[in-house]
């Protein structure tokens, strides 16, 4: 299983607009991904409700994980998005 541990770079955390950006980014990878707060239970990273329920605030550590083919590249791109608090998925 591929994993990336990153710190949430959006000051407001994974709420509202950043969560929407992240869900679209996950969906665009075509790779099933989970996200969990450090030490918490994972949720589907492509689910807006799951992501909002996670309650990840700015500065929290989250773990992105996937067992799918292409997971390493997808997780690298998603980790960059979360860590940098970007407005869109970085180019491949």
Residue 92 lies in a domain: no
The neighbour count for residue 17, using CB atoms within 10 Å, is: 11
What would the pLDDT profile of 21-47 be if each residue is shown by its tens digit? 999 999 999 999 999 998 899 999 999
Domain-located, residue 30:
yes
Residue 19 inside a domain? The answer is: yes
The answer to whether position 91 is within a domain reads: no
Looking at the domain assignment, is residue 44 inside a domain?
Answer: yes
pLDDT score recorded for residue 92: 62
Over 90: is that where the pLDDT of 88 sits?
Answer: no
Gyration radius (Cα) of the chain, Å: 11
The domain in which residue 17 lies consists of 2-84
Looking at the domain assignment, is residue 89 inside a domain?
A: no
Which of 2, 7, 9, 15 is an active site residue? 15
What CATH number is associated with residue 18?
3.30.1340.10
| Tokens standing for residue 37 | 């707060």
Let me know: does 13 contact 42? Beta carbons within 8 Å: no
Residue 90 inside a domain? The answer is no
**Are 63 and 44 in contact, with CB atoms under 8 Å apart?**
no
How many domains are there within the chain?
1
Condensed to tens digits (0 to 9), the pLDDT of residues 41-73 reads 999 999 999 999 999 999 999 999 999 998 999
15 is catalytic: yes
Alpha-helical runs (H) found in 36-92? 48-54, 71-84
């Amino acid at each position: 299983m591929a994993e990336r541990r990153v710190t949430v770079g959006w000051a407001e955390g994974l709420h509202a607009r950043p969560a929407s950006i992240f869900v679209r980014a996950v969906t665009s990878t075509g790779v099933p991904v989970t996200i969990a707060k450090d030490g918490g239970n994972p949720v589907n990273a492509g689910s807006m409700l799951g992501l909002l329920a996670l309650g990840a605030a700015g500065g929290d550590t989250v773990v992105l994980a996937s067992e799918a083919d292409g997971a390493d590249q997808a997780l690298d791109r998603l980790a960059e998005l979360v860590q940098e608090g970007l407005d869109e998925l970085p180019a491949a």
